[in-house]
A and B are shown apart, each in its own frame.
Chain A
Amino acid sequence: MVPMPLVLPFAELEVGQQLYWQLGNLRVHGQVFLSSWVVIGALLALVVLGSRKMERDPRGVQNLLEYLWTYIRDLAREQIGEKAYRDWLPFIGTLFLFIFVCNWGGALIPWKIVELPNGELGAPTADINTTVAMALLVSLSYFYAGLSRKGLRYFEYYVEPTPIMLPFKIIEDFTKPLSLSFRLFGNILADELVVAVLAFLVPVIVPLPAMFLGLFTSAIQALIFATLAANYIGEAVHEESH
């Protein structure tokens, strides 16, 4: 007697399968864009809903938005410093919100009920392209922040406190985006895989702890990415006080 394989529609494993869209001679991962549009749509809907009628006595969604705003402001102010944090608040906040909603959306939205011809929907942050894109944006912004604030004096940072630091600081410029992108990508992908494998093996109850852990990791990863991005920018705009 051959046991029937228990294959539920939400418990299939596909790794590295992409839904390719051809744009001219460029190829993009369609499933990443589809899920990111859903995520961006949700984010914008929340924001529009909450900020439609701003009042001095906040009510409803405005409370949530103000809480998020102050949370992000405190994060940015702590990492970047009082002087420059205002310019970078939207960028840090967008990174945090986008990654957070992507991660939680990947864990909470039942993507698997949507059949794609190839690949499957999931958290956009489980695709290396998304995380590398954001990590490179962070690199660009901290260079821009440093150069626009200090001009060429920014490069003094590379030889401080001693010129011996020069090679390490140059290597750091490469390792920063690398670690940022791979940390996020690895955590989210691993979480999705663990949940998928557990759901594949035992589709009831057993995956739940892993799912909760995944939600926790997702939130932490969003916070880490935003905090590190702010920290890098803060390092670049930091003025030596002497």
Chain B
Amino acid sequence: MIELREVTLGYGEQVLLRVDELTLPRGRITAVIGRNGCGKSTLLRALVGVLPYGGSIRLDGDELRSLSHRERARRVAYLPQTLSTPAMSVHTLVGHGRFARLGPLQSLSRADRSAIQQAMELTDVWELRHALVRDLSGGERQRAYLAMAIAQDTPMLLLDEPGAHLDVSHRLEAARIMRQLANEGRGVVVTSHDLPEAFSGCDDICIVNHETIVAQGAVDSIAADETLLRDAMGVCVRRVEGEDLVHPYSLSY
């Protein structure tokens, strides 16, 4: 679980995001939504230690800044929005997910190899294991990096726009994977611009507006507050009844 109290994020005087109180629990999927540039990615970057912060961020009760880099990486995995295209194989990339769990010589044990293979099979990149990351399509690359984050085997996963480059079928597959991870007891935090997908696939919604967290709660309660959503996003969502719908929530004015 990640708990934020009286947190300011940014560099020196420049505050990028203020959070009075926010709890990101295990076993649930939390979507962080908001307009472009409102601070969604900033929040995730601070939670993984990329950005400095004031106030208190606790990972399972321990203050984030008191943890070593490796200890933090054993508790939180992070998939950034911009992914590089290194000249390494997909298998090597996913193997890097085990970095914080290995000794100085970085030798993979049988358990490590098994975790890597399972992550690759889960994200459907096992067949691509010998391919170079830089030769992959955007969607394949996104899935390879997702496998790396899963191979990190952490109780919390922070995914910045994980569906950005995926086609429809792989977006649905990514949603199924996130649900599976949450069912295993892991906490998943995703940023998203796609409101129907966020409201349909997640348990909780956190709204960022004007560099601050304006609301956090279960999907149904947030969807019910149309004024709040219109103010933050310009639109609201409505639940649609139907058995064969991909997303039970759709956009409305």
Specify whether A and B are partners.
no
